[in-house]
Amino acid sequence: MYDGPYRPHALAQSRVRRRRFATRRLTAAVVALSASLLLTVGCGPSGSDTAGAEGSRSSAAKGFPVTIDNCGVRTTYERPPSRVVTIHQHPAELLLSLGLKDRMVGTAFPDSAVLPGLREDFRSVPQLAAKAPSFEKVLEAEPDFVYGGYSSAFDEKEGRSRKAFADAGIDTYLNREYCGEKNVTMEDTYAEIRTIGRIFGVSKRADALVSDLRRRVAKASAAVRDAADVPVFVYDSGDKSAFTAGGKGLGTQLIRLAGGRNVFADLDDVFGDVSWEQVVDRRPEVIAIYDYAGDKSVAQKKRYLLAQPALADVPAIKHKRFVVLPLTATLVGVRSAYAVEGLARGLHPGSFA
């Protein structure tokens, strides 16, 4: 019986270490048994016992070790992760799209309705928290890999730094949109999917998914190729100022691929605040409202914008032209390709008649 002071970090880390020690012992025993069987069988047919679907531990390990550089952190994976926690919805949907439900032991922070084809699988993954889980809560799931969608997933002030997870023997990966190195494009989405495919030993699945998403984007973009670009203002939130999508985020390219132009593409950030006077000056013809589980619904955001006298002469307000996008659809993940079609239909409805 433990009768010392309660130390949740230490206790949770101890459980992870005990489980990993047991796993290593079991692995060693299996290796020894396999060697013994090979000596007994002699020159029997080769390869027959290792055949199987891509993604199984036996076949996936053939491509390992894999070394990945991610946002300044270099990690070498000796084998695919087998117990994964995702923080934020878009990493969870990406893993599910790659057929990795069986590797997921927890997720957290859902912020919009899940893609219809993934809803059943998503419901089967334990939800650790409605918002960001505590470090201790993540450790309770005994993961060997944590995949974060926003930089806040690894908030040092909240005790969830990548170093803290590394000290507990847990690998981490942050969505590349928050590495802050350059403007994000759809090529980053495709690269993200392929990188995750390499880490999990399912590169063929990743390539097939990328090919499908490329086709979706190309089809939507082709439909609006000859249409004039529509000036678009992204409204995320805010009253005294407007919190909008800047030029470094994926949203700017999604708008361009859909036949539009982000009026704040010159904002040197993924998101940022701008004044309402700037919004008026740039005269957007359409307002894209980002939808997520926050303080205000889409309907409330629309009512707020329509009620502001200062915005009355903005073309988008005068003509009540709004498009609504789930926030997760504007991030590096599987939804971004779907977002291009949704935006294109909203900006150029006549092209899809």
Q: What is the pLDDT of residues 170-195, one digit of tens each?
A: 999 999 988 876 788 999 999 999 99
Q: What ranges do the domains of the chain cover?
A: 62-174, 210-352
Average pLDDT estimate for 83-94: 97
**CA dist 82 → 85, 94, 142 (Å):** 10, 16, 10
DSSP 155-217: -GGGT--HHHHHHTT-EEEE-GGGS-SS---HHHHHHHHHHHHHHTT-HHHHHHHHHHHHHHH
Please choose, from the candidates 235, 197, 250, 204, the residue with its C-alpha nearest in 3D space to the C-alpha of residue 53: 204
Name the architecture of domain 62-174: 3-Layer(aba) Sandwich (3.40)
Q: Say which residues have a Cβ less than 8 Å from residue 60's Cβ, sequence separation at least 6.
A: 54, 79, 80, 200, 201, 202
Percent of the chain with pLDDT over 70: 82
Percent of the chain with pLDDT over 90: 75
Residue 184's pLDDT is 87
pLDDT at 285 over 90: yes
- Fold match between 62-174 and 210-352? yes
The CATH number of the structural domain formed by 210-352 is 3.40.50.1980
Cα separation, 313 vs 321, in Å, equals 13
Q: Which two tokens stand for residue 341?
A: 């079609």
Are 75 and 166 in contact by the 8 Å Cβ rule? The answer is no
Cα separation, 118 vs 94, in Å, equals 10
Q: Which residues pair with 148 in a beta bridge?
A: 87, 174
Average pLDDT estimate for 335-345: 94
Residue 3 binned pLDDT confidence (cut-offs 50, 70, 90):
very low
Average pLDDT estimate for 99-104: 98
pLDDT at 53 over 70: no
- Backbone CA torsion sign across 157, 158, 161, 163: positive
Instruction: Work out the number of other CB atoms within 10 angstroms of the CB of residue 8.
Output: 13
